[in-house]
Structures are given as C-alpha cells and as structure tokens.
Structure 1
Amino acid sequence: MHIAHVTSFYSVPALSPSSAVRARGIAYRAAGHEFTVIMPGAGASVEWTEYGTIVTVPARGAALRRGFVAIPRAIGRALDRLVPDRLEVADRLSFRQLGVWARENHVPAVLFADDVPTDWASDRAVQNYDRVICSPSSPTSAEVQSSAASRQVFLHPGVDLEIFTPLRHNSALRDTSGAATILVCAAPLTATGSVSTAIDVVRHLINQRKDTHLVVLGDGPLRSRLERSSHGLPVQFLSAQTLSLAERSEVFATADFALVTLGGSIGHAVALESLASGTPVILSGTDHIHIEFGNGGGLNAEEDMTQIAHAVAVLSEEPVESRRRAARDSALPFDAMPLARAMVTLHESLGS
C-alpha cells in the first residue's frame, strides 16, 4: 500500500523531518509499502530518500500571501496526485480538511493528537479519522468522549537510535569552536521557541567567565532579531533545513549539553535526539513528556537563566563518559523502530 504522511504546516518545525518519521518510512518500506512525506517549503519539489519520497508543498515565504486557507487545498491537490491508500496527518492547520478528503476518497486515515489542538476529542472533525495516535501523557479514554476514545491508540513518541548515536561525535567539528563547553539549542526561531532564553543563559555564563559556545539549530521569522540580540556573544546559528539527519546527529553528539526550551511533542523530539546522541539535556519550562534520566543524563530546570546555568554546572561535574552513557541509556526506551512496526500493523489492519 501507499502511505502518505502530512507534517506540520501550522508552525515552523524545530526539526523536520523527524527521525521518528524516517524510522516509520524504513519500517513501511521493509514491509513492502510505499511512503511519501508531504512537508512545507518555499517552493514545490520532490526528493527521493532511503525512507521514502519527500514532496514539498509551497507554504513558506511568498506562498503565504495566498493565506492559510489555500495551503490545505494545496495539500489536498498533492494527495489527489499521489492517490495514497492510507493517510497520516500531523498538522493542526489542515487536519479538518484532510479528514474530509480522506472520507470522501475512502482512504483510512490516522491523526497524530500531539500535533493538533488539545481539545481534539471534542472536535467533530475527528470522526473522519479511523485512529488517533496519542502519547501516554495524553488524556485517557475515560477523559474523552466515548466516540473519540474508541479511536485512540497510545504509542510513545520515538527516536531513531541508528541515526542518532554517540558514535557521530566529531572532534574536528568541536575543535573549530575552541570553547570548553558547547551548548546546542534546537528550536523554531519563533516566540514559542524561546531561543532567547538559551542566549540569556550564554550571556550569564560568559559574565561568570565560563568559556561557552552556543549552537542554535533552527529556522523561523525571528532569526534576524535573535542574531542581533546575540551580537558579541559566542552564538552560532545553523539552519535545520540544510542539514541531513546524520549531520543533525553530529551537531547533537558533538555538543556537551542540549538546552530544550520548548515543551510538547516538539521539545520531546529534540530531547530524545540529543539523548540518543549521548548528549545530556536540560529541560526548561513545563509541558514536557516525562523522561527518566540516568545519573548525569539530564535535568529539569525552571525557565530562568540562572537556574539553567546552575543545571549546566551540576551536569558538568559528572565525568564526561558517565554522563554521555547516561544520556544514551535515557533514550533507549524510546526506540522508534518497534513503534514504527506497530504502525505497520495498525495500517495493515485498517480497512480489513
């Protein structure tokens, strides 16, 4: 069968495509299925990868002048051309229209609840989906309407442990920084991404005479403003859109610590990719999916630069190899491949 997956068009993703999507594509293809990812971009394009085909629909820059309404229609036209047998939707902007598309075209559809509004269970649009994939921290069946509860499937968000590994640590890349401590912050360059918090942390550490370098990995409309605010500080900006998954893993694996400045499914994905790469994380703020950290593998902190800087100091006291091993071990329960195989079984059961 041909499975199409629609990623988030609603906001600038921190990391796209996610390693979990790659793992699903590999599992689908191994089971004999075709996989296509539909994602937003500045222009239309088609790319073939080892895990499937990536179809880019114009939804950035000049494409937005047509407004948000036109984007779901553009996704629908892409689906009309692809003629998939199954549809996965992880986009709050278009999930209502795409549910209608699936129903009218008699295509079994799956909705990822972490990527749509939190009140999805009371939205009549859910009736157009055969299954709703929820993380274990989502509302339980008893908390949602019975009609929606019957569609719920609980699966942990995962990370591709083959791509994201400590073996991608790059000493030569690290030497280009020359700093004693390298921090990485992967987040959309938007107000909700809270990258400014990471910049404040670096400013605080530099004022304490701590030799620190920050790598900001992300894209978004606030890049110019954030670059101006970090002027004179050891802060480097990298576009996530220009990096392959392996290159992204290299950035994580080479850093000492990752600052996760946003919560929800996006922050969880960032944390897992860092941990799988052997880099401890510091989760700031709230709304984080629970992760059991090994000793030195990570810490939770208030969304305050002094608290985050203190967490960096605490983790720095752990031996490097010990904390990197603890970080990797913290990610192992979230291996994406078993979850991907569960999705294969789910799709094969729909419509049967």
Structure 2
Amino acid sequence: MHILRVANFVSPTSGGIKTALRTWGECYQARGHRASLIIPGPGPEISEESQGMVFRVPATPIPGTGYSLMWDRTGVARLLDAIAPDALEVSDRATTRWMGRWARHNRVGSVMISHENMTGIMVRHTPLPHAPSVWSADFINRRSAHDYDAIVTPSHFSAEEWQHIGVDAVVVPLGVDLEVFTPTSDPAHYTAPGPGVSIELIHCGRMSPEKRPELSVETVRELVRRGHDVRMTMFGDGPLKAALMERAQNLPIVFHSYITDRAELAARMGQADIALAPGPLETFGLAALEVLACGVPTVCTDEGALHEVVGDGGAIVPGTPAAFADGVETLLARPNGRQRARAQAERFNWPDSADRMLALHEKLRTRHTRKHS
C-alpha cells in the first residue's frame, strides 16, 4: 500500500506534527508499505528520506508564525495525480480539506488527522463571542467530517469536539522513541535537590500563544517569591520568544536555541528535576511525553489532553502560577517520581501507533474496493 501524507503547518522547527509524520512514515516502510509526504517548501523539491519520498512545494510564508502554506490547488492536485497513492492521510482540517474530495473522486481512502482543537482555538484566539466561536468550529468540523472517510485524533480530549457534532473519531495516541528519550542515569538512584542545590526546571512546548509559555515564566516567579532556589531552561523557539525573554528579565531563566539532534535534546532534558507543560489546548502533548520518557516528572495543566499523557508521571493542576508552583513542590516531595515518569511514558510507543493507523488505512481501502467492484 502506498500511503501519501500531506501537511501544511510544518516548519524546520515544528514539534509534534513533524515528529509524527517522520516516525509514522518510517514505521509504514518498516512494515513493507510505501510512504510519501507533501509539505511546504523551502528545501529540496524532492528528496528520499528515512520516512519515504518527500515533496516540498512552493508555499506562502505566514508572517510572525514560522509557517508557510501551500495555496496552489491546481499544482498540488497534479502532484497528487502523479503520485497516485492507495491511501491519503492529511494533517490539516482547513486549508487542505479539498483533498478529501480529491480522494473520493479517485477512489482513495482518506483520513484527516485532527492535530489541533478547533473549538478551543476559535474560543480563545478569535475576537468572536463564545457561542459564535463554537458554531464556527462546528461548521468547519462538519465540513471536514463530510469530506473525509475517517477522522483520527490523538486523544480522547481531542475526540470530544467531534463527538459533540455526532462524529465518531478514531483515537490513535502518538508514541515516543524510548531508546532515544531515556533517563541519563538510573531513576532509582535520583535524589531530590537539597539545601544549597538549585531546582532545575525545563519548559516543554513551542513559544507560541496557544502553548501559554508565559505560565512557565510566572511559575518561576512564584517559586522565587516562595524562597526556592530555582533555575529554568526554556528550549525551542516561537513567535513569543522575544516577549518572553523581556518578561523573564531578573528571573533565573535561560532560553536555549532549538536543538535539532534528538539525542542531545534528550540528554539536556534528562538533567532536569521537574518539567513544566502549560499548554491548555494540547490534543496530545508529545513534548511532555518525551520528557517523561527521560524520567523527568512533569507538572501539566488540567485542561486539554495533557492529563491523558502525564497521568501518574506528574502533577495535574489548574493553569495558574500558584497551582503550578504547588505542583513543583508536590513532585519534589514525591517518592519514586522519576520511575513513575518513565513507567508512564512506556505506555506509549510508535510501532503500536503506526499499526493502528495502518489498520485504519487497510479498512478504508477494503471499503473502497468493495464499493467499486
């Protein structure tokens, strides 16, 4: 089976979506299938990679976001025709929704992967009042459900907005590379920071409005106010980085550039005592899962899907600086915290995730074959 994946919101510094695309593609090929990918440029027009053949097409940059979008339907449609896949997997419900209709016309099974929570985005990040925001999200979601054969979400939280409009989304949790993201030392021998030793924190998540990184900054402020000797490293990049650096002046916070080498990132994360994952609209929380796999207990918000990922591996608290500071204190006092974090991460792996996707693609392929035989 030749599986074509398409995604618009992918950049050189993308997080979860880029990781999922790459790893699913590698797993598909390891199972004997062909995998291809269409994403926005820049970069080599065509390249053969571990995840399969990658096609980068001309795209228009979106100022202030780091993303570019493919708008040329005619050119992309020609590329779809030339690739002629057996299955289509699209990671965007809005700008590429037309591809579901292309797949139906060409008798190709189609899956739309819901990587974001449209209802939450419309409610929190648009000027519309609450009710019109929900109606708008429902309208967009109904159109997506109509155009694709199946909707996939990475969490039960993400599936709720589809169930709200009567659509049974398929929940396929993401995974983590447990060999790359692994504790730097034996979690059983870990000793919590004592007097005179700084508490090392790290922030998980892109520095963009939907990830609410300012909560991590304000948590450090609250911990300092309480008299804790604390330091935090914020890894990554995003449109809010400059504003966050200004906000963090006079606080013990270091901003680290984006790390492309996953082994180096894992080693850096594994040195922390506690991680902070403040994103209120996460539909999964891959960054939090990766840090859990490194044996680092994580404080996360009780909003979104993070509680499904963090579980017993951390503290689930309201999204306020005081509550997050309470969570840090709770985890510092919790016995076996690093073992519990690693054990929680081991519940998720990429081969199982890819096998669920492959089973769905095969089911849709069989359905189309029967329908047109």
Q: Find the residue that maps to 1:314 and give its secondary structure.
A: helix
Q: Does 1:312 align with 2:328?
A: yes
Aligned to 1:215, the other structure's residue is in SS state strand
**Secondary structure in 1 matching 2:92:** coil
Pairs within 5 Å for 1:24-43: 24-40=24-40
Deviation at residue 79 of structure 1 after TM alignment: 4.0
Cα offsets for 1:190-220 (capped at 9, x unmatched): 2222111111122232344433222222332
| 1:226 corresponds to 2:244 | yes
Number of residue pairs matched by the alignment: 336
Using a 3 Å threshold, how does the CA distance of structure 1 residues 85 and 219 change in structure 2: closer, same or farther?
Answer: farther
Aligned twin of 1:139: 160
In structure 1, the residue matched to 2:116 is: 115
Q: TM-score, normalized by length of structure 2? A: 0.75
Residues 23 and 160 of structure 1 are in contact (CA less than 8 Å); yes or no, is this contact kept in structure 2?
no
Give the TM-score normalised by structure 1.
Answer: 0.79
Relative to structure 1, is the Cα distance of residues 63 and 49 closer, same or farther in structure 2, using a 3 angstrom cutoff?
farther
Alpha-carbon spacing, 1:47–1:247, altered in 2? closer, same or farther (3 Å): farther
Q: Which moved more, 1:326-335 or 1:115-124?
A: 115-124
Q: Does the C-alpha gap of structure 1 residues 260 and 34 become closer, same or farther in structure 2, counting only changes over 3 Å?
A: same
- SS at 1:340 equivalent: helix
Deviation at 1:49, TM superposition (A): 4.1
Pairing 1:264-279 to 2, within 5 Å after superposition? 264-266=281-283, 268-279=285-296
Deviations 1:36-78 (A, max 9, x none): 3444565565555433345455454579999968276776565
- Structure 1 residue runs without a partner (length 5+): 170-177
Match status 1:206 vs 2:221: no
* Structure 1 CA distance for aligned equivalents of residues 67 and 247 of structure 2: 32
Contact between 1:301 and 1:308, CA under 8 Å: does it hold in 2?
Answer: yes
Is 1:4 paired with 2:23? Answer: no
Instruction: Kindly state the Cα deviation for residue 283 of structure 1 after the two structures are TM-superposed.
Output: 0.7
* Cross-structure match for 2:370: none
Alignment partner, residue 260 of structure 1: 277
Match of 2:349 in 1: 335
- Partner SS state of residue 315, structure 1: helix
Contact 1:163 1:246 (C-alpha < 8 Å) held by counterparts: yes
- Specify the code of the residue in structure 1 equivalent to 2:358: V
Q: Distance in 2 between matches of 1:70 and 1:239?
A: 30
CA distance 1:114–1:17, change in 2 (3 Å): closer
1:298 paired to 2:317? no
Let me know the Cα RMSD of the aligned residues: 3.7
Deviation at 1:257, TM superposition (A): 1.5
| 1:182/1:256 contact within 8 Å kept | yes
- AA aligned to 1:113 is S
Report deviation, 1:281.
Answer: 0.8
The aligned residue for residue 99 of structure 2 is: 98
How far off is 1:329 after superposition? 0.9
Letter in 2 for 1:305: P
Q: Larger Cα Rg: Structure 1 or Structure 2?
A: 2
Matched, 1:128 2:147: yes
Q: Which residue of 2 aligns with 1:89?
A: 90
Q: Are the counterparts in 2 of residues 3 and 88 from structure 1 also a CA contact under 8 Å?
A: yes
Please tell me the residue identity of whatever aligns with 1:199.
V
Pair 115,35 (structure 1): closer, same or farther in 2 beyond 3 Å: farther
Change (3 A) 1:49 1:11: closer
1:108–1:15 Cα change, 3 Å: same
Contact 1:182 1:257 in 2 (8 A): yes
